[in-house]
Amino acid sequence: MPMRSSPVVISRWRAAALIFGAWTLVGCVAVAGGVAAALSTGRPLPSTFFFFSNILGMWLWALYTPLIFTLCERYPLDGPEWRRGVGVHAALFLVLWGLEFAFGSVLDLFVQHPQRPVLHYFFSALIYCLFCYLGALAVGHALRFHRLYLERVVRTSELESQLLRSQLLALQMQLRPHFLFNALHTVSGLVRTDDKAGALRVVADLADLLRAVLRGDANQQVPLRQEVELVERYLGIEQLRFQERLHTQLRVDPDVLEALVPQLLLQPLVENAVRHGTRALEGEGRVSVHIRREAEMLCLSVEDSGAGNAPDGPAATESGGIGLANTRARLRHLYGERHRLSLRKTEDGGTVAEVAIPFLRAGTVS
């Protein structure tokens, strides 16, 4: 699954450059509009005052913009305190309107331009400031909503990551006492039958198995080779435990050993297969594991010959124990819809668990 990035933070200088650039562009558009209107109607071109008043006025609003953005964060127009936000923004608008009127009056002293009625300028400044303030207010709230959205995405990603770690830990905690009890029981039985070589083999496999599980690898995905080695040790212990009652087969295509798979993906599938395959009181159980590549998918199938408990039909994908439930949830978080996990019955009454995930190698971005 692609890693979600945290909200991007830009420097103050870059933010200031963006603000001044945006307002300068607005001023140039206003000047261009005035020139186009004069040319289309045959009137004289706007005076120098028109150019300076627009550009300098936009730069003045560029200075106001950080303050407006700050008030959008502290006094937004949504939520339970929206009335307070309206009051604060209305007060700031009146202040800026007064500053704009004063700025135009001061500019009149230095730039020659046709005289205009004071009342006309008073209301034109009102409309001009209203549009500028509403524009800055809209952008400020848009930036606020975008920031809140990114923060929510980051929190969701962190929660999903914590959930995956918890599910992996649950699988590890399920593995440790379960294997330890069964392996020690097998060792005690081999010792009683004076099978020292078998007992030493179980102890060695158990040590390797627990070392692999207890190493605390935080990676959600590991090379398939590592999972195969873990399953081989597990099957070695179970083979000595059940003796002739269990026959196993592990087939892995050599070209898929470096593919990335979720950690502890195979273990719960194989564990269920061994439990089902050895359920019958008479006869022998068989567990077969086959891992291969089909086009752009890595396919893993685990089949047993036991009684099984897999239903037919759509319910097959929702059955299974805690280990399979955790596996299903982890696959959904890691691959979304790009995976398949199904359980089905075979003709002889066994169960086949099939998993298909995208074929990825180490360093590949999905």
Q: At what angle do helices 322-335 and 118-192 cross, to 10 degrees?
A: 140
Domain containing 142: what range? 12-155
d(CA 229, CA 232): 5
Query: How many independent structural domains does the chain possess?
Result: 2
Per-residue pLDDT of the chain (366 residues; tens, 9 = 90+): 444 444 455 677 888 888 888 888 888 887 787 777 777 777 776 666 667 777 878 888 888 898 999 888 888 888 777 888 888 989 988 888 888 777 766 666 665 555 555 566 667 777 878 888 888 999 988 988 988 888 887 776 766 666 556 555 555 545 555 656 666 767 777 777 777 777 777 777 777 766 666 665 556 788 999 889 888 888 887 887 787 788 889 999 989 999 999 887 887 788 888 877 776 545 678 899 999 999 899 999 999 887 544 444 444 444 445 567 777 877 887 888 889 999 888 887 788 999 999 998 866 544
Q: Is 213 inside a domain boundary?
A: no
150 and 269 co-located in one domain: no
* E strand or H helix that includes residue 302: strand 297-304
Handedness of CA 45, 46, 49, 50 (dihedral sign): negative
147 and 224 co-located in one domain: no
pTM of the complete model beyond 0.75: no
For 44, counting Cβ atoms within 10 Å of its Cβ (0-12 exposed, 13-18 middle, 19+ buried), the class is: exposed
Assign residue 248 the CATH number of its domain: 3.30.565.10
The domain boundary residue, chosen from 110, 129, 155: 155
Q: Is 207 inside a domain boundary?
A: no
The domain boundary residue, chosen from 155, 180, 195: 155
The domain boundary residue, chosen from 155, 188, 205: 155
